[in-house]
Chains A and B, each alone.
Chain A
């Protein structure tokens, strides 16, 4: 009976984990414009006063344009396209589920100036995979890889040994943190998105390099860049992108 099933669904939604309920209550949506600006102005005043009175200095981080090269490949040929670095010059690259001979949207990560480099890659929607010698390896939501690796993003998610389900979100982000030894020397954020709202699931996805940043050495020393700092910057980039899309 439909009513009974709907009641069951309603009750089950009612009893979801408390963390989701709290998350939804604490993540408030857009505040009143004047309130937001008043709050920001108040914060600025406090920061200025505090800065003047106590000479608080924010740790300086020197940033430079990213040195990471992300190369993508056209759907039906081997034509290479290098994604442009920097938020001002986003490059769109489209990939079609139906047209491509590749198992996912390919992104080759490479850096030429540094030797001992590794990439810490994570994705918050869909799955990244490796495709080497016709063998497909599904990667976890976060993993480390070496220079010159091509990873593929797919809207499939592995839920078991041979079980998959479609990622139904319209946006996903790939976070790439570049390490040299134990030091963080750069990062990049790539947005995967679809405008294909007609198909379920979407058939065509685009990739856009939102930002690529490097942290050059200062006085011959690595800057002390923390993972928290990079995570905050990445979230800021995503928030600004989402706000711009609205």
Chain B
């Protein structure tokens, strides 16, 4: 089914929207979540939350590219889940307390914060556009899809060491671009 038809189901509040989304983008979403979380059960939870968020957000939102939009949602949810699990597992005591107290702090998503992130995204967009296509795709596979260096090496027919070097170069390249724009991460 075409994206526009799926989105139209969301607008009609037809629950078939979820199953059509799952049919078309379920594997894609699951792969991203699994790459980030490494646990199938967590990835499943994350994908289900993504469908829920899609159901709650469309309408009013009407994504131009449904796949990319879902991928962004999956990444956000997966990252939140990873942070939550990471804190609980590694720093059971104090971190758990802080984690709970964090509920008392107003959302960090202030306008200023969003503008900063948007500026950073613009710089990364410019940087990505300046890369040769092969490098850009590799970067996206690694840092957007979350694929491992070994997987990328295998798929590209390169040795893992060479792939790691290539990734290092790309990261240094991005760092240099960010520093030039006044960011020091």
Contacts and interface: CB of A to CB of B under 8 A. Distances in A.
A and B from one assembly? yes
Interface in B41-62: none
B180 interface: yes
A9 B145 contact: no
B169 A25 contact: no
A78 interface: no
Contacts of B124: 12-13, 16
Interface stretch (A58-66, A105-113, A162-170): A162-170
Contacts of A22: 65, 67-68
A30 interface: yes
B68 A169 contact: no
A182 interface: no
B62 to A, nearest CB: 14
A169 B143 CA distance: 17
A23 B136 contact: yes
B14 interface: no
A246 B145 CA distance: 23
Nearest to B140: A24
Contacts of A13: 121, 124, 143-144
A124 interface: yes
A190 to B, nearest CB: 15
Nearest to A30: B155
Given A11-B117, A12-B120, A21-B140, A6 B185 contact: yes
Contact of B140 (A23, A169, A197): A23
A125 interface: yes
A232 B9 CA distance: 40
Interface string B98-127: 000000000000000000111011001100
B132 interface: yes
A21 B144 contact: yes
B131 A169 contact: yes
Given A18-B64, A23-B136, A23-B137, A165 B176 contact: yes
Interface string B70-103: 0110011001000000000000000000000000
A172 B132 contact: yes
B155 to A, nearest CB: 4
Interface residues of A, number: 38
Interface string B130-154: 1111111100110111000000100
Nearest to B74: A14
Nearest to A172: B132
Interface in A140-194: 157, 165-166, 168-172
B125 A20 contact: yes
B172 A14 contact: no
A11 to B, nearest CB: 5
Given A5-B185, A168-B172, A246-B158, A15 B135 contact: no
B108 to A, nearest CB: 8
A100 B69 CA distance: 49
B120 A8 contact: yes
B23 to A, nearest CB: 16
Contacts of B158: 246
A161 to B, nearest CB: 15
Given A10-B79, A12-B124, A242-B134, A21 B180 contact: no
Interface of A: 5-18, 20-25, 27, 29-30, 124-125, 157, 165-166, 168-172, 197, 200, 242-243, 246
Nearest first, the 3 closest Cβ-Cβ pairs linking A and B are: A24-B140, A168-B173, A246-B157
29 contacts: A9-B120, A11-B76, A11-B79, A12-B117, A13-B124, A14-B79, A16-B140, A16-B144, A18-B68, A20-B125, A21-B71, A21-B72, A21-B144, A23-B137, A23-B140, A24-B137, A27-B133, A29-B152, A30-B155, A125-B132, A157-B130, A168-B170, A168-B176, A169-B135, A169-B173, A197-B165, A197-B169, A200-B172, A243-B157
